[in-house]
Structure formats: C-alpha cells, structure tokens
Structure 1
Amino acid sequence: MPIPDFIVALRRKVGTDELWLPAATAVVTRPAPDGPSGAVELLLVRRADNGAWTPVTGIVDPGEEPAVAARREALEEAGVTIRVDRLASVATTDLVTYPNGDRTRYLDHTFACTWLEGEAHVADDESSEVGWFTLDALPPLSAEMRGRIDAALADEVAARFVR
C-alpha cells in the first residue's frame, strides 16, 4: 500500500515513533436491488495488505476535512461517488505497528454515506476485492469494523464518541 508523501516526510524526521493521524471511514449503503423495500446493501473492500474486509477507510490529508476524505477514498478505492450523510462516530484506534516498525494511532471519523453513482470495482492497489453485501450476508469483520458499521447504520442523529 502506498504511503502518502507527507507521512514519508514525517517518518524521515521521527523514524518509527508513534504518529497520531486523522482517518476517515465511509460506511456506504445503497438500496438492495432484490430485497424488500428499505433493505440496503453495504459496500466493503478487501484490504490488499491483510485480506480483511472493511468499509472504505483512509488517512485524511493535511488540511483536508474528514468528510471530504471519505468521499475521496470511496472514489479512489472503489470507483464510486458517494454522499456523506452524517458523522456516525469518532474513536481512537489501538496502536498499530507495521511490519517495518512504524507505529501509528488513528483518530477515526466514521461517516454514514449513500452511494450516488459508479460501478464498484477495485480502483487502486489498496484493495484486492470490492463488493456489495446485504446485511444478513456480510463477510467476517473485525469487532472494530463491525462497531463502525453499526454506528453508521443506527437510526441516530448524534455521533457516537467511543471510549
């Protein structure tokens, strides 16, 4: 997976020390074409680095708004245009240590999003598969990703601030 240039520059200065980075997760839904009225499908990507299924995720670029990052990542990773409907949750991830020793902790902003257009496909090298899944036929997901999805699909107005 490509490392953004600004992180490469930071790593030259701080080595493998822990970085604190903003991130965005886009939980994208669309009406299920064959389901009952109100049924939705969820867009998921299979990460190329570890094979895990997740919603679209990514790092927020310097100066970029998290909701803009969610839209950008959906287009870059899955080739779809989305509407960001609401902030669903904000949470800090556990410390992530990469194989090269780099350590990072993310402040994730999860957004409930709606698909607008585009045929979902693998659009970059960060994913190996992209697909739409009904809620009763989701692939295995980590508890963390399931929590993000649950927050986005909840019929809530206010964001969840995860502790």
Structure 2
Amino acid sequence: MPTPDFVLALREKVGTDPLWMTGITAVVTRGEGANRELLVVRRADNGALTPVTGIVDPGEEPAVAAEREVLEEADVVAVAERLTWVHVLPEMTYPNGDRAQYLDLVFACRYVSGTPAPADGENTEAFWSRLDALPAMSADMLARVEAGLTDEPDARFER
C-alpha cells in the first residue's frame, strides 16, 4: 500500500520510532431490514476482508477522510453520518520495521452512489455483502462493523 507523503516526511525525521496516527474505519451500508448490505474490501497487502479503513491527512476533518477513503478505495460515494466508536489500536510493526499506533474513529456511513470496485490498488476486491451473510473477518474488524451498525446515538469510548 502506498505510504502517504506526510508519513514519509515524518519517517525521515524519526526513523522507525512509533508514530501516533489517526485512522478511520468507514462502515458503509445500503438498503433496509433483511436486505441491508455492508461494503467490504479485500486488502491487497494481506488479503483480509474489512470495511474501508484509512489514515486522516494532516488538517483533514475525520468525517471527510472517511468519505474520501471510501471513494478512493472502493469507487463508492458515501456520507459519514455518525461517529460510533473511538478506540486505540495496539502498536504495530510493519515489515520494514516502522512502528505506528492508531487512534481509530469508526463512522457509520450511508451509501449514495457507485458500484464497488478496487479503485486505487490498496484492495483487490470491493463488494456488497448482506449483513446476515458477512464473510469471515478478524474479531477486531467485526467489532468495528458492529460499532458502525449500532443504533446508539452516542459514540462508544473506551476507558
């Protein structure tokens, strides 16, 4: 996956030391009731099935980042309607030794238009999956999906 220019610039200064990053998870749905579907992508780097995820650019509003990532990664226009979960992911080490930790903001997003397709090379597939027949995902991703599907009016915060 291409590393954003601002991350490359930071890496020139800090090397592989941990970076604190803000990420988003966009839980995009369309339809109602038993026909409600989730936008799912298959990551090109590890083959995992996930909702759309990404990094907030410097100065970018997080909801705008969620909408941008959905369009860039899956060729779908969606509107971020609600923040549903704020949580910190465990520190990770990438294959090149770079370390990062993410504050992940999960957004419930409403489908507007577009046919899912892997649009920017970060994914090999993009498709709709009925909520009652979701493909296998990691426990972490399923928790994000669950948070994005909740009807609770307030975001969940970890303590």
Query: TM-score, length-normalised on structure 2?
Result: 0.97
Q: CA deviation at 1:96?
A: 1.0
- Residues in 1 aligned to 2:53 and 2:65: alpha-carbon distance in whole angstroms: 9
Contact 2:29-2:109 within 8 A present in 1 as well:
yes
Runs of 5+ unmatched residues, structure 2: none
> Aligned Cα RMSD in Å?
1.0
Contact 2:34-2:132 within 8 A present in 1 as well:
no
Structure-to-structure mapping, 1:11-160, within 5 angstroms: 11-31=11-31, 37=33, 39-160=35-156
Supply the AA of the counterpart residue of 1:14: V
- Residues in 1 aligned to 2:144 and 2:40: alpha-carbon distance in whole angstroms: 12
Counterpart in 2 of 1:8?
Answer: 8
Aligned-partner SS, 2:121: coil
- Residues in 1 aligned to 2:12 and 2:80: alpha-carbon distance in whole angstroms: 34
- Residues in 1 aligned to 2:15 and 2:37: alpha-carbon distance in whole angstroms: 41
Supply the AA of the counterpart residue of 1:9: A
Aligned-partner SS, 1:136: helix
- Residues in 1 aligned to 2:66 and 2:151: alpha-carbon distance in whole angstroms: 20
- Residues in 2 aligned to 1:64 and 1:98: alpha-carbon distance in whole angstroms: 24
Aligned-partner SS, 2:148: helix
Runs of 5+ unmatched residues, structure 1: none
- Residues in 2 aligned to 1:48 and 1:22: alpha-carbon distance in whole angstroms: 21
Which segments of structure 1 move beyond 3 Å, counting only runs of 4 or more? Answer: none
* Alignment coverage as a number of residue pairs: 159
Query: TM-score, length-normalised on structure 1?
Result: 0.95
- Residues in 2 aligned to 1:61 and 1:2: alpha-carbon distance in whole angstroms: 14
**For residues 125-163 of structure 1, what are the alpha-carbon distances to aligned partners after superposition, in whole Å with 9 as ceiling and x for unaligned?**
100111100112111111111111111111100001134
- Residues in 1 aligned to 2:138 and 2:157: alpha-carbon distance in whole angstroms: 19
